[in-house]
């Protein structure tokens, strides 16, 4: 049986290549996701190791482990001298690192990708040095990392501007600097200045964020920590440099975990689509080899041996395809790396990291998916009766009734629907199973159910879809070919169905969010202008000086800055906002559920209605909120509110927010003009007042709506780029099936050519069949996508006001593109069919 398996593979190399293609693409995405994120993690680890190589101990604020990206309580700069005076301490240095804004010599904000950091010059790092020019030693001087300097064409003497918490300040670039072998700190833009300059820019005079301590030779780290600890204030700690590097690397790896998960989700989609293609391919192959398999049964092969032979073929194909998939993964990781660096990221000069785990997982996934997909066709193959070989027919083995298919299909669909509903509408209190996992499992089982049921209505659907083609003979033949084998038509269409279903669901969800946003803003948003960052995606922070200048304008009646930051409450990560609460309540949709707007002040907090319900809070109840800066603070609930445009969990007044949060930059400024001031006059006054702040948008309500829609469209573009792989696999699936179908119908095609069909007509027939199959899959996908989109919108509407909106023209465009995909998929099979030798085809068995 081993020799028979090997001969079968070698004798059908085209079939082998077509089958392996789907596995290779799916496995390639899995391998690419692991390779890229492993490379990114290694880049950060290298950077953090280098950044702590020049000192032994770091003194830092104590911050809740879940709030590591928020700033802790700054340290008094006087502590640096106290630590440096200790026995065993060789040197100590205070450091500032804070987010800022860099404006290049052309007056443009250097944006996109990672943020820009203002960093005080790190004198204790031996691996950190000047790469060109000189070190900045005076106020008004700055150095850049080499990547940023190259990006903006900055040389020594170039003038740029920096923005911290005040007005923009002009600086002269003195040179470039970085850690050894790193042209930037893992892609982050860094501007190096003196400590005094950094303190002024970040609004922290006489303070530092951390203190780095180098011990004298022979002094152990533990002795240094013991000596430093008695000097520290309550919310500060001394830790080893090695622990700092490990914790920072681990924090960034966890933060980047979402990226790996995101990529692996799409890899899973690609593999799921590929599984349909693999199963369909093996099923067709088995159907074509009925006589061959029956002859094996005649000469003594058992059913188990036939099953084993087909499965063994699948395993061999899977191993070869999975190994090729690792190579595709490397290429895909390079492509992702290129896109990452094009948006401002940087992995340094380190090569891509390929861990043994990546190869093992790729092989395991590829073999498992292929083997499971081939198992059912293998069982079918074992049921081929030996008499089939004697009859010389290609009768199908083990035909099952449509009734059994209907039962199993409806059961699968019902189970998937139950899992989907459980994930969307039921709050699962489990650490092992999350709602998103249930939604994914439910969707997958529903897809299987629909795929099982599809043959029941594939024939009438193909007849209806192919009706416009029936005016011509080739069109009638194409429709009949699609109708002749409803199981094959449905299986071929299933791969495209999954891709279009996910696209349809995403379109419905995005259009519903955009429609809901417009309705809420039109009906309830009362601000005349929203001032925000013009950074990529509209996300970014800016100096509070902007809000101060706007508030001072006579054209402005009232305004408020808005800030956001992470906190912890009841063991959960939540978000807190800071604003002038009465002004905010007058400018956005703001429903008072319980309490009073005026009750929010020192010692009191406003709580979003859904958060209050989740935490079982009411007005007058105490709530402990954990801040990165000040730790656990007790507030009394003074207001429970509902808002669709400002749905942060907790809301504090700006003075209380500033007292508990280090970060002082604003995210938005909401503005209401004075009575009698029109929009154009108000815009002119605001833009004139903040003209020296670049990268700031002043948007009226309509423009603000367009910005939100633009952010959603950016997200959509990224999603569709990921889903494109599933669509590509689906198109290959149609190509694969049609190619195998051409092989199966070689004699039939020869007879058609013998009675006068031209090659052009043959092309038209095969193309028409592909279009029918593709549109059938697209229609199924769009219908399911609308259903999934509705379910997700309903789930979101349980906690927020979300209105269903279906983008019919975009979904219609999807159907048209599916038809075009069918035409593309038919190119190779049609070409191959047209090249068949007439006499060889007629004599084909």
In the chain, the percentage of residues whose pLDDT exceeds 90 is: 24
Measured CA to CA, the distance from residue 591 to residue 179 in angstroms comes to 52
Measured CA to CA, the distance from residue 361 to residue 359 in angstroms comes to 6
Decide: 504 and 814 in contact? Cβ < 8 Å. Answer: yes
Do residue 393 and residue 472 come from a single domain?
A: no
Model confidence at 238, in pLDDT bands (50, 70, 90)? very high
Query: What pLDDT sits at residue 551?
Result: 93
**Average pLDDT of the residues of the chain:** 81
Mark out the alpha helices in 152-214 (DSSP H runs).
195-202
pLDDT digits (tens, 9 = 90+) for 516-526: 877 777 766 78
Report pTM: 0.72
Do residue 246 and residue 267 come from a single domain?
A: no
Collapsed DSSP state (helix, strand, coil) of residue 686:
helix
pLDDT digits (tens, 9 = 90+) for 532-547: 886 544 456 788 999 9
Residue 409 CA, chain-centre distance (Å), reads 32
Decide: 178 and 185 in contact? Cβ < 8 Å. Answer: yes
Mean pLDDT of 336-348: 61
Mean pLDDT of 425-435: 65
Measured CA to CA, the distance from residue 311 to residue 305 in angstroms comes to 10
pLDDT digits (tens, 9 = 90+) for 558-575: 999 999 889 999 888 899
Residue 421 placed within a domain: no
pLDDT digits (tens, 9 = 90+) for 175-208: 999 877 666 665 678 899 999 999 999 888 999 9
pLDDT digits (tens, 9 = 90+) for 32-87: 878 887 887 777 777 777 777 778 899 999 888 788 777 888 999 999 999 999 99
Collapsed DSSP state (helix, strand, coil) of residue 191:
strand
Domain boundary among 255, 287, 305: 255
Measured CA to CA, the distance from residue 765 to residue 830 in angstroms comes to 8
Do residue 82 and residue 28 come from a single domain?
A: no
Residue 242 placed within a domain: yes
Residue 521 placed within a domain: yes
Do residue 292 and residue 350 come from a single domain?
A: yes
Query: What pLDDT sits at residue 75?
Result: 93
Measured CA to CA, the distance from residue 550 to residue 671 in angstroms comes to 8
Query: What pLDDT sits at residue 347?
Result: 54
**Which residue(s) pair with 604 in the sheet?**
636
Do residue 334 and residue 379 come from a single domain?
A: yes
Do residue 192 and residue 43 come from a single domain?
A: no
Collapsed DSSP state (helix, strand, coil) of residue 720:
helix
Do residue 378 and residue 329 come from a single domain?
A: yes
Do residue 309 and residue 348 come from a single domain?
A: yes
Domain boundary among 699, 732, 758: 699
Sign of CA dihedral 438, 442, 445, 448: negative
Residue 636 placed within a domain: yes
Decide: 545 and 836 in contact? Cβ < 8 Å. Answer: no
Domain boundary among 699, 721, 737: 699
Model confidence at 388, in pLDDT bands (50, 70, 90)? low
Residue 409 placed within a domain: no
pLDDT digits (tens, 9 = 90+) for 78-136: 999 999 999 999 999 999 988 888 888 888 888 655 578 899 998 888 778 889 999 99
Do residue 200 and residue 163 come from a single domain?
A: yes
> Which residues make Cβ contacts (< 8 Å) with residue 280, sequence separation at least 6?
488, 491, 492, 494, 495, 733, 736, 737
For 470-484, letters b (16+ CB in 10 Å) and e give eeeebbbbbbebbbe
Do residue 315 and residue 199 come from a single domain?
A: no
Decide: 367 and 320 in contact? Cβ < 8 Å. Answer: no
Do residue 327 and residue 381 come from a single domain?
A: yes
Measured CA to CA, the distance from residue 753 to residue 521 in angstroms comes to 65
* C-alpha R_g of the chain: 33
Model confidence at 397, in pLDDT bands (50, 70, 90)? very low
Decide: 71 and 628 in contact? Cβ < 8 Å. Answer: yes
**Which residue range forms the structural domain that includes residue 375?**
1-55+257-399
Measured CA to CA, the distance from residue 163 to residue 271 in angstroms comes to 47
> Which residues make Cβ contacts (< 8 Å) with residue 181, sequence separation at least 6?
46, 50, 348, 349
Residue 515 placed within a domain: yes
Model confidence at 398, in pLDDT bands (50, 70, 90)? very low
Residue 423 placed within a domain: no
> Domain total for the chain?
4
Do residue 92 and residue 240 come from a single domain?
A: yes
Residue 418 placed within a domain: no
Measured CA to CA, the distance from residue 672 to residue 679 in angstroms comes to 10
Collapsed DSSP state (helix, strand, coil) of residue 755:
coil
């Amino acid at each position: 049986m081993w020799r028979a398996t090997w001969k079968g593979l070698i004798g059908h190399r085209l079939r082998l290549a077509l089958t392996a293609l789907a596995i290779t693409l799916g496995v390639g995405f899995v391998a690419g996701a692991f390779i890229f994120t492993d490379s990114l993690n290694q880049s950060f680890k290298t950077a953090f190791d280098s950044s702590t190589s020049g000192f032994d101990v770091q003194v830092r604020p104590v911050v809740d482990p879940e709030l590591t990206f928020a700033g802790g309580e700054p340290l008094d700069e006087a502590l640096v001298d106290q630590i440096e005076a200790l026995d065993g301490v060789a040197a100590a240095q205070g450091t500032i690192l804070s987010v800022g804004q860099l404006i290049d010599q052309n007056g443009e904000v250097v944006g996109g990708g990672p943020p820009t950091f203002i960093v005080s010059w790190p004198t204790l790092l031996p691996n950190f040095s000047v790469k060109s020019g000189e070190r900045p030693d005076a106020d008004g001087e700055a150095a850049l990392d080499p990547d940023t300097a190259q990006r903006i064409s900055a040389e020594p003497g170039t003038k740029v501007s920096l923005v911290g918490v005040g007005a923009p300040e002009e600086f002269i670039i003195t040179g470039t600097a970085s850690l050894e072998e790193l042209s930037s700190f893992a892609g982050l833009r860094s501007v190096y200045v003196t400590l005094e300059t950094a303190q002024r820019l970040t609004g922290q005079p006489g303070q530092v964020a951390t203190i780095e301590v180098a011990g004298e030779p022979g002094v152990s780290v533990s002795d240094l920590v013991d000596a430093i600890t008695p000097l520290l204030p309550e919310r500060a700690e001394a830790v080893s440099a090695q622990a700092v590097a490990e914790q920072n690397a681990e924090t960034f790896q966890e933060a980047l975990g979402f990226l790996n998960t995101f990529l692996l989700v799409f890899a899973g989609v690609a593999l799921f689509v590929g599984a349909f293609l693999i199963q369909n391919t093996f099923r067709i192959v088995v159907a074509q080899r009925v006589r061959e398999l029956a002859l094996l049964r005649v000469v003594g092969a058992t059913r188990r041996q036939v099953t084993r032979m087909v499965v063994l073929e699948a395993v061999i194909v899977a191993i070869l395809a999975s190994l090729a998939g690792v190579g595709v993964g490397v290429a895909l990781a390079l492509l992702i790396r290129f896109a990452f660096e094009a948006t401002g990221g940087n992995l340094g000069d380190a090569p891509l990291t390929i861990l043994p785990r990546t190869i093992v997982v790729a092989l395991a996934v590829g073999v498992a998916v292929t083997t499971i997909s081939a198992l059912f066709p293998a069982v079918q193959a074992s049921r081929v009766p030996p008499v089939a070989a004697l009859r010389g027919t290609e009768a199908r083995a083990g035909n099952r009734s449509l009734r059994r298919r209907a039962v199993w299909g409806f059961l699968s669909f019902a189970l998937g629907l139950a899992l989907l509903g459980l994930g969307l509408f039921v709050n699962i209190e489990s650490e092992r199973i999350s709602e998103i996992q249930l939604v994914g499992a439910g969707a997958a089982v529903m897809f299987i159910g629909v795929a099982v049921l599809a043959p029941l209505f594939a024939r009438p659907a193909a007849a209806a879809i192919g009706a416009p083609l029936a005016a011509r003979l080739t069109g009638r033949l194409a429709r009949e070919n699609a109708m002749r084998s409803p199981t094959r038509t449905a299986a071929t269409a299933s791969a495209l169905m999954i891709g279009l279903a996910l696209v349809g669901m995403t379109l419905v969800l995005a259009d519903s969010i955009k429609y809901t946003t417009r309705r809420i803003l039109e009906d309830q948003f009362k601000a005349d202008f929203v001032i925000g960052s013009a950074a990529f995606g509209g996300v970014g922070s800016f100096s509070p000086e902007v809000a101060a200048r706007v508030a001072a304008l006579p054209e402005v009646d009232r305004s408020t800055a808005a800030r956001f930051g992470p906190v912890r409450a009841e063991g959960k990560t939540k978000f807190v906002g800071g604003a002038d609460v009465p002004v905010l309540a007058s400018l956005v949709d703001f429903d008072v559920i319980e309490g009073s707007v005026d009750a929010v002040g020192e010692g009191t907090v406003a709580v979003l209605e859904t958060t209050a319900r989740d935490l079982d809070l009411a007005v007058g109840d105490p709530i402990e909120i954990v801040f990165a800066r000040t730790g656990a603070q007790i507030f009394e609930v003074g207001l429970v509110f509902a808002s669709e445009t400002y749905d942060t969990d907790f809301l504090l007044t700006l003075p209380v927010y500033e007292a508990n949060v280090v970060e002082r930059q604003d995210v938005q400024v909401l503005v209401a003009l004075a009575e009698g001031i029109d929009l154009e006059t108000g815009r002119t006054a605001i833009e004139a007042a903040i003209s020296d702040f670049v990268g700031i948008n002043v948007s009226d309500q309509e423009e603000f709506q367009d910005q939100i829609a633009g952010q959603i469209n950016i997200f959509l573009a990224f999603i569709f780029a990921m889903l494109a792989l599933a669509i590509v696999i689906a198109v290959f699936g149609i190509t694969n099936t049609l190619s195998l179908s051409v092989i199966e119908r070689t004699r039939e095609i020869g007879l058609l050519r013998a009675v006068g069909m031209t090659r052009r007509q043959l092309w038209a027939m095969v193309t028409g069949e592909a279009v029918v199959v593709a549109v059938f899959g697209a229609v199924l996908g769009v219908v399911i996508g609308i259903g999934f989109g509705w379910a997700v919108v309903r789930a979101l509407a349980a906690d927020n006001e979300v209105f269903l909106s279906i983008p019919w023209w975009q979904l219609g465009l999807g159907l048209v593109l599916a038809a075009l995909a069918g035409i593309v998929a038919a190119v190779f099979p049609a070409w191959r069919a047209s090249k068949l030798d007439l006499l060889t085809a007629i004599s084909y068995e």
